[in-house]
Chains A and B, each alone.
Chain A
Amino acid sequence: MNYTLLVLSSPTSGHSAQTAAKFAHSVIARGHSIERIFFLDEGTTNGSRAAVFPQDEADKLQPWTLLADEHGVELVLCIASALKHGMLDETEADRYARAGATVHPAFIISGLGQLIDAASNSDRLMTFGD
């Protein structure tokens, strides 16, 4: 079965985003596939390469980057939400004259069409909110 995931919550608000990443790993481990993972609103902050989490807490970024690096999963941040939350890649940082990119390179920034397109090609659309 083919899944699209929609992540709405930040890595620091509850455990919903972590659950989403674990779910995605389980989906793949069971032989299903992920069409795309789309991050909207505060969910876009999961792509931060600037956030520093305490060493005695779980790494909130690595579960996502592993999905991209080891399984080729597309991680897409909604551009409107990303910009509002200070989540910029090199292109957007240049465009808006900001000091540097804040988004980890495993993520890409794009529009809502990427969610709509992925959902229409998926058997299941799973929303992970608060």
Chain B
Amino acid sequence: MSAAEKKRSLVVMRQSPYGGSLARASVDLALAMGAFEQNYDLLFMGAGVLQLVTGQDSQKIGAKNIGRILTSLPLYDMESVYVDAAALDRYGLNEADLVLPVSLLDESGLRSFLNDADHLVGC
């Protein structure tokens, strides 16, 4: 592939929202990729799906509300975010519990989705 060709990146979010500082850093990365008009998608896997849960209140731990930051993503031309359906299920969540409209991926869907990206950023 030529370096000039626009690559499709996939940012994989696997961190719970407030367990460390990496979740916030990777949300910032996603926002920056939007601002720089990159061709990218966001995929939430594992504990990362908890970043999308509606009604987060992070005020008492002095952190910014990650759910709220994520709702600004569509402003950057992001049509959809992708979610590992099995992870949602594991946490007893469904689409109505999330701050954004999402596309669910099952196991085989995930595999091809990960394969199709030129670059993966695993956070």
Contacts and interface: CB of A to CB of B under 8 A. Distances in A.
30 contacts: A8-B22, A41-B22, A41-B25, A42-B20, A42-B22, A80-B25, A80-B28, A84-B21, A112-B29, A113-B32, A113-B36, A115-B32, A116-B32, A116-B33, A116-B36, A116-B38, A117-B36, A119-B119, A120-B3, A120-B6, A120-B7, A121-B3, A123-B1, A123-B3, A124-B119, A125-B9, A127-B120, A127-B122, A127-B123, A129-B22
Interface in A1-50: 2, 6, 8, 40-42
Size bin of chain A's contact surface: 20 to 34
B121 interface: yes
Contact of A111 (B1, B3, B7, B32): B32
Contacts of A42: 20-22
A125 B121 CA distance: 8
Contacts of B33: 116
A8 B123 contact: yes
Contacts of B1: 123
Contacts of A2: 3
B36 A81 contact: no
Contacts of B123: 8, 127, 129
Contact of B29 (A40, A84, A122, A124): A40
Main SS of chain B's interface residues?
mixed
A15 to B, nearest CB: 17
Nearest to B121: A127
Interface residues of B, number: 21
Contacts of B20: 41-42
Given A120-B6, A127-B122, A112 B38 contact: no
A73 interface: no
- Identify the 10 closest CB pairs spanning chains A and B, nearest first: A112-B32, A41-B25, A125-B119, A127-B122, A41-B22, A116-B36, A121-B3, A40-B25, A41-B21, A81-B25
A78 interface: yes
Among A80, A120, A127, find the residue whose CB has the most chain B CB atoms closer than 10 A.
A120
Nearest to A130: B22
Interface in B43-90: none
Interface string A87-130: 00000000000000000000000011101110111111101010
